[in-house]
A and B are shown apart, each in its own frame.
Chain A
């Protein structure tokens, strides 16, 4: 038949790559609890409560403890006295990690 592809109009979703699922099927964990920010409980693809639009204006932040939050949410938490600069999930001192995207 010898057909050749001349044009391709693709459609795709983007999601934050939270690292944990890099190797897994992208759809398998769609409803998992891991997909929400541990502070505001809004999905990572959504935005923190102070932002209106998700996207690069409301990015995520990765900690060395492997926990991921909306950056705005976490910074707000760290700025409170009671935080003692700890990760809200495991009480270890918060250290921002490089994004866990190993390509």
Chain B
């Protein structure tokens, strides 16, 4: 039967009439269909096409009049149209089957590429033809097929789908049955491409495309699925991929370095992504890439992790980038890198400080220059920050590792030992140096940059309150002694601190500036008033009135004898201030105020810049040429222990002479190259003293902060267990410093004593808030 059908008919059968029976009709249709399927390139004339279409249509519609004369497939039929449709349908199915059976033999002897070529060629011709045939039988599709489907019959398809189903069964399964010949041919071709040969990718695309088309949803034949593609091709393809790369990667790693392998793996992954793009179905991407990642990355992750330190040590940026990109593909890939990176940074930081301190031990650690220290820390941070940004694309996990490591080595290193306050102190001292007039930063932008760098380290400080205390002490000195480089820089630094730690943190600092400008106004007003009342003043007077509590300076408890030379100015200002702010009183800081003196009898008339203590001493020599220390104490009101350092400076500068112990003489032959001489040198011991004072302040402040925090927490919670309370307080305070648990316990005891809180009845560790 197949043979008779397939013989090209020399003569076209005549077009049957409207009521022709199946045999006549099919004979005509068969000739046309076969022509379309096998000799489409010869063309089909319009009349012929119309004739075929009309015949199919006529058969389906006219048959209604025949009534149910034929028994048909599948159960009872009530209308003739159904029966007649099924006749046509069955005939078509038979034709497709016969057609494919007649050509499939040609593939038997073919292999690999030639097989694929033949398959693709036949597939193309078949599908194009089937498409036309499908259109010829539009009427059948729309009515008979649709009704059958609506009634729930499976295995009835539209004509084109029918053609595909038959291809699947007769052609595809036939070839595949021989050891998956078709799929294997593709796999071999792909393998050749992986090995570097160039292949005809279009061919694979066509064949793979046919697999995709052949998949049908069994539930709903209108929809396609990928069942055929997946089972016939994708599964074996993934398996082949896995085997291929497993072998390749193992061999490659055995012969090459990890760096080389990174390049290879990167290239391979890219290749596979392109492969999907080029000729596979996009649904394969996920599975394929996962498989590749598994074989190429996960399987060798340990080796990469092991090599990571090596790359870091030699700063191999490209390799690091590559390793990051590869390991980022697998979820667990980066964590070990982050850990190692953290250790690496920590070690680098500790080593940098160690190098700075040298082997001098504690003494050397104490002598560390703030600038060198800060620069060393910054350098480590900068270098590793770059690595994070460049090699690791600024990935959050690595940023966190960097931060964690920095926090560790910034707070505890060879220079700090176990002294947690050392790092904040050094940083504050460095900042102080930056903001002083003596700092010769050529450009404002440079200074700004330097301040920003300070903030980088500041962020890592654990005890920010220590920094704050040192900073405010340094700031107050800069302001009182007028040695601040620029108001803008100071303001900029404060706004940075505010940004980092909030209003509370910089409140006092900001307040100092307010006092500065208020004092300037006050000085101006006072001067104006004086000029009106008394004419020009002999003494150029200016004052800084500080608000208590904001300035970390203590007034000395001495009974200073105000020299007669300035007494009138002193009294006038007292009166002026009273009238302006009644209800306030002033406490004068003689130890902080300073003067300029002109030596009228000397030639040239030297100008001495002095502290007020020095002034009061020198004024004594207006009337005397020689005085003992006791006389000076008496005359100035400065206690002996504070007076001695003052005298030392004066002796050293040779303004006074001391031939005998405790006796000081005026030096009539004083000479100096400069006219203006600064005698107001800071006393050397100041620094050391400063540090312990600051730390004491910090300790006191902390006690209050802890107590206040406990009260706040208790106020909102009313009742709390000790453990939970300590945890919450620690967490809240951590932004400022790391509180020690014994300190918190002590604070709780204090609050119990002061009856802010009480122990809940019958418990040892539960507290109630006392309103």
Contacts and interface: CB of A to CB of B under 8 A. Distances in A.
A6 B583 contact: no
B593 interface: yes
Contacts, number: 148
Contacts of B587: 12-15, 26-27
B608 to A, nearest CB: 7
Interface stretch (B69-77, B258-266, B465-473, B614-622): B614-622
Contacts of A15: 548, 584-587
Nearest to B480: A11
Contacts of A54: 547, 549
Contacts of A76: none
B542 A8 contact: yes
A78 B666 CA distance: 65
A81 interface: no
A2 to B, nearest CB: 4
Contacts of B622: 1-3
30 contacts: A1-B666, A2-B599, A3-B599, A3-B621, A4-B598, A5-B565, A5-B566, A5-B619, A6-B596, A7-B542, A8-B540, A8-B541, A8-B566, A8-B569, A8-B595, A9-B594, A10-B588, A12-B545, A12-B587, A13-B545, A13-B587, A14-B577, A14-B586, A15-B587, A16-B583, A26-B585, A27-B555, A46-B549, A55-B547, A101-B578
Contacts of B569: 8
A14 B585 contact: yes
A8 to B, nearest CB: 5
A53 B511 CA distance: 8
B592 interface: yes
Interface string B420-444: 0000000000000000000000000
A52 B666 CA distance: 52
Interface residues of B, number: 56
Given A14-B548, A15-B587, A46-B549, A4 B593 contact: no
Contacts of B557: 25, 27
Given A2-B601, A4-B565, A10-B589, 19 more contacts: A1-B599, A1-B618, A2-B599, A3-B621, A8-B541, A10-B573, A10-B588, A11-B480, A13-B589, A15-B548, A15-B586, A25-B557, A26-B587, A27-B557, A27-B587, A43-B548, A45-B549, A60-B583, A101-B583
Given A1-B601, A101-B583, A7 B547 contact: no
Contacts of B597: 3-6
A45 B548 contact: yes
Interface size class of A (residues with CB under 8 A): 20 to 34
B544 interface: yes
B548 A12 contact: no
Contacts of B546: 11-14
Nearest to A68: B583
B548 A13 contact: yes
Interface string A12-23: 111111000010
Nearest to B559: A25
Nearest to B668: A1
A99 interface: yes
A6 B601 contact: no
B651 interface: no
